[in-house]
Chain A
Amino acid sequence: MSRDERNQERREESWDTGEDRVGEQDDYRVVGKNERRVDALKLALGRGTYTDDLALEGTLHLKLLWSPHAHAHIVSIDTSAAERVPGVVLILHHGNVPRIPYTTAGQGHPEPSPYDQFVFPRKVRFVGDRVACVAAETERAAARAVQLIDVEYELLEPVFDPRRAIEPGAPVIHDEPEAAGLPDYDKKRNIAAQMNVTHGDIDAELDRADLVLERSYEVPYQHHACLEPHVALTWLDEDHRLVVRVATQVPFHSRRILARILRIPLRRIRVVKPRIGGGFGAKQEILLEDLPALVTLRTGRPARLMLSRSEEIVSSRTRHPQLLRWKSAVTKEGRILAQELDVLANTGAYGAHALTVQTCTAGKTLPLYRANAYRFLMKTVYTNLPVAGAFRGYGGPQGFVALECHMDELAEKLGIDPLEFRRMNVIGPGHDNALAQALGEGKEGPPQKIRSCEVLECIERGQEAIGWDRRASLDRSGVVKRGIGMSCLMHGSGIPGVDMGSARVKLNEDGSFNLHVGATDIGTGSDTILSQIAAETLCVALDKVVIYSSDTDHTPFDTGAYASSTTFISGMAVKKSCLGVVRQLIEAAAEMWRSRGEPVSTDELWVEQGNVRRPEGSPLSFSDICLSTFYTHDQHQIMDHGSHMSFECPPPFSADFAEVEVDTETGAVRVLKYVAAVDCGVAIHPASAEGQTEGGAGMSMGYALSEHFVFDDTGRVLNDTFRDYKQFTALDMPHFETILIRSFEPAGPFGAKSVSEIPTDGPGPTIANAVANAIGIRFRELPLTPEKIRRAWIDHRTNVEELVK
């Protein structure tokens, strides 16, 4: 049987579901190859057009007045002086816009986040909350006018500490009657979301354990730092419809939510996603497009709003800070009996993603190691601080700091090598994800069984690459000490039972195809990856696929670029629609041959390199078929569409390793080498999977070592510039090695799982474990700033000296 026959057979087997039954990567022509990314050259040339690269005549520029107070009633707003600034056209505030409760979370309908926001609040809840918005002829005029808006505030007592926020007598942040959330919503106690889940008899397991270890961990705020700030440009088209060009990960959610809060029919709105300069979850929020949209609707003029970096840091969204308590019960042989996680999360002033980020903190971490019983306790609490939301990793980076530091601590107590301890307990193929049902997306989730899983191989290969065996013998005699640490990780691929993507494919006369997808490329490479999936399925070269993505008028629906779903969910939608087109091509070819008196059975036909072939006789090219079906015989458009939703959420796995150098005199940590061995199924575009890994890990190396928010005692962010908010730079990044470990995921397109979020989970615990290995001190609070390390070292040394005395 030839290769193409095998391919064909596989396609027929999976005609309806799109699922592959076999997976020989060597069979693929486009998938698994490092093709030139479809958008790379234009971006290298600076020709990519991002939201703000379009200038429209007569555009009004918007600037916001942000709250200077952490908690205050707005008593009055006087805009008269601001209105007199030349060029000012319109000033919006709570007194002149509709008051409709909503969430900015940008999730599917109905959102599992509380409706606790309004376009403008009457009560400000953090330094940086919206107060008013000026639209003017120039950005400068708008900025000047903002300074002249006179607001009288009645100051209220703020609360900044989530522990304090849930105490009786704490100031109530959401006392407005309209605010409403899921059934457990308890706004009187500042609780935006809570959960209490038990699986198995946890108390019995704790009782019979040889060792019960309980430790607390703390993780900070983090800024997404998309290089392109939030930006939106709106205008009315010639049909008087509202066009919203916005840097978003969720064009369809944006349209749905805008229709509701603007009170206009959804059909009157077109949301266009141009090129996006990074999202990382920040652009899942419907953060600012409502304001230019309102201005455009009221003035009839184009309107533009772009946040400054400082506004982006303070007033967009952040990673939820958490206090985590991890408790585990183990036998002396090292078998885990039970795991308990208690999370107190700070959502800041509003509750976007308050429930689901925290359920993922548990959902990604607890199932990684097999146990007889689990308990998850969680409260997400309002405070008068910046708002948390979706952030790449979505609760995982927080949870893995606790889990994977805890695993090292347990291994040390048990006297077992940390690698061996993980190998003994880690989940594997055929195992159930015990908590999947309990931790659904605001409702019960579908059950999950692990199919593809090469985590042991990840450990093996990562261990070799870092040189784990050197760990015991690293030189630690000098002032600068070396250490090696690791962690195991898992994530998910889409939200099972919820996320849906769709695609449409149509044939052109030159044998090329237009691929229209709702999926949103925000830099992840999904335009390339989806094109590769299409090219592979259609048996054409990549350049025969012309992709157009996410425009609510012109592409079918997709939930959006989040939850590590695009390759897995949208990819399968592309595959299904292409399979439909292949079937139509074969039928059209058979019809052409029949009409020429050369009857064939469609069962005998297959597609190969842009042709439909038959066992004997010349093939028909896709181009010939299109010309015939357009103009001469049985005229119709060869075209199909497909949608995909999955009840499965196959986790990618990873084993991360770091070698660090700790300067005990200054407290500075240098990451010398980082290895990520990742099982993401079949990597559709391996170099992009590496890029996701390097970028995700790089972002979390900052989380581990230098990124956090510094507040003054009024709740103001002090490090609100890139000069003071310290990310990893090209000089900080270590030597990096990504090892892609191949598995074959039957539920994914061509065996693929996700890879975008899992790399953010690793550096926090991996670096903390490496530091502990280097200097013998366990840190349970990120970031590991030089000052923290130096102080701990001085205390440690003093203790050791006292012991010696």
Chain B
Amino acid sequence: MKIELRVNDRDVSWDCEPHEFLTEVLRRNGLTGTKRGCESGDCGACAVMLDGREAPSCIVLAAQAAGHEITTIESIGSFEAPHAIQEAFVDRTAIQCGYCTPGMVIAAKALIDRNPAPSEREVRRHLAGHVCRCTGHVKPVAAVLEAARGMEGES
């Protein structure tokens, strides 16, 4: 089947099968920053933004995403101009193996977009669906709080 959707601010028309999940279809179309970790929505590695909210792409059928707006890690920052959240993750040494990082950045962006000054509790709640076996979550939480503070200063 063909699905029409908006991915990273671009209208696309992609082929997919009814049984395929969004993770697979994104990856097949070159957006490999979205990772596979658990296939049950419980690890956050596959997180994307769907209409501005964090969604677990491993349990969203690609067909379900038709007509919606998807944002993947590839459209958040670049080598030349990383997003403040990405800067904070780098500066805070909040990245170890990095497999969870795209999902965490997505979660943080979805949070800060709606709530520019989240409490530590809110940050923890929004990262709680993101399994990270490397960092113990300490530095990622600090990075998101720092990014939010920095962005608040900017605006």
Contact = CB atoms under 8 A, between A and B. Distances in A.
B134 A523 contact: yes
B99 A227 contact: yes
Given A722-B38, A723-B42, A730-B130, A37 B102 contact: no
A53 B130 CA distance: 20
A47 B33 contact: yes
A727 B82 contact: no
Nearest to A724: B42
A309 B90 contact: no
A754 to B, nearest CB: 16
Given A46-B34, A729-B128, A730-B128, A694 B99 contact: no
B77 A698 contact: no
A422 interface: no
A43 B133 contact: no
B128 A227 contact: no
Contacts of B77: 44-45
Interface string B1-30: 000000000000000000100000001100
A283 to B, nearest CB: 11
Interface residues of A, number: 58
Contact of B132 (A227, A308, A696): A227
B131 A698 contact: no
A275 B92 CA distance: 20
A278 B133 contact: yes
A276 B38 CA distance: 16
B37 A736 contact: no
A697 interface: yes
Contact of A731 (B43, B73, B128): B128
Interface in B92-114: 92-102, 105
A45 B132 contact: no
A581 B135 CA distance: 35
Given A275-B98, A723-B42, A695 B93 contact: no
A694 B138 contact: yes
B55 interface: no
Interface in A614-668: none
How extensive is the interface on chain B, given as a class? Answer: 35 or more
A731 B124 contact: yes
Contacts of A417: none
A140 B131 contact: no
A137 interface: no
Given A309-B37, A695-B133, A721-B40, A45 B96 contact: no
A45 B133 contact: no
B96 A525 contact: yes
A277 B97 contact: yes
A277 B35 contact: yes
| Interface of chain B: mostly helix, strand, loop or mixed | loop
Contacts of B79: 41-42, 45, 47
B53 interface: no
Interface string B63-82: 00000000011101111001
A306 B124 contact: no
Interface in A375-431: none
B40 A309 contact: yes
B154 to A, nearest CB: 18
Contact of B35 (A45, A50, A524, A690): A50
Contact of A41 (B45, B73, B86, B125): B86
A49 interface: yes
A278 B86 contact: no
Nearest to B99: A277
Interface in A55-101: 55
A52 B97 contact: no
A228 interface: yes
A308 B39 contact: yes
A695 B135 contact: yes
A318 B105 CA distance: 30
A221 interface: no
Given A46-B33, A49-B32, A40 B134 contact: no
B40 A39 contact: no
Contact of B141 (A228, A727, A730): A730
A228 B128 contact: no
B73 A722 contact: no
A454 B10 CA distance: 58
A698 to B, nearest CB: 3
A227 B37 contact: yes
B38 A44 contact: no
A722 B43 contact: yes
A226 interface: yes
A685 B28 CA distance: 37
B139 interface: yes
Nearest to B136: A698
Contact of A37 (B19, B90, B141): B90
Contacts of B148: none
B90 A36 contact: yes
A673 to B, nearest CB: 12
B102 A224 contact: no
B136 A46 contact: no
Contact of B131 (A41, A52, A227, A688): A227
Contacts of B129: 729
A52 B27 CA distance: 10
Contacts of B99: 50, 226-228, 277-278, 523
A227 B97 contact: yes
Contact of A691 (B19, B74, B139): B139
A728 interface: yes
Nearest to A736: B138
A522 B99 CA distance: 10
A595 B43 CA distance: 64
Contact of A278 (B28, B36, B125, B134): B134
A43 B91 contact: no
A43 B98 contact: yes
B136 A697 contact: yes
B49 interface: no
Contacts of A696: 136
A695 B130 CA distance: 14
The 9 residue pairs across chains A and B that have the minimum distance between CB atoms = A46-B33, A523-B97, A698-B136, A43-B98, A277-B99, A46-B73, A694-B136, A687-B93, A722-B42
Interface of A: 34, 36-37, 39-50, 52-53, 55, 140, 224-229, 275-278, 280, 306, 308-309, 522-525, 685, 687-688, 690-691, 694-699, 721-723, 727-731, 733, 736
12 contacts: A46-B74, A47-B33, A50-B35, A55-B27, A227-B43, A227-B97, A229-B37, A278-B133, A696-B136, A721-B38, A728-B136, A729-B130
Given A50-B99, A728-B137, 16 more contacts: A41-B90, A43-B98, A44-B98, A45-B33, A45-B74, A47-B33, A50-B35, A275-B97, A687-B139, A691-B96, A691-B139, A694-B138, A729-B129, A730-B125, A730-B128, A733-B137
Interface of B: 19, 27-28, 32-40, 42-43, 45, 72-74, 76-79, 82, 86-87, 89-102, 105, 123-125, 127-141
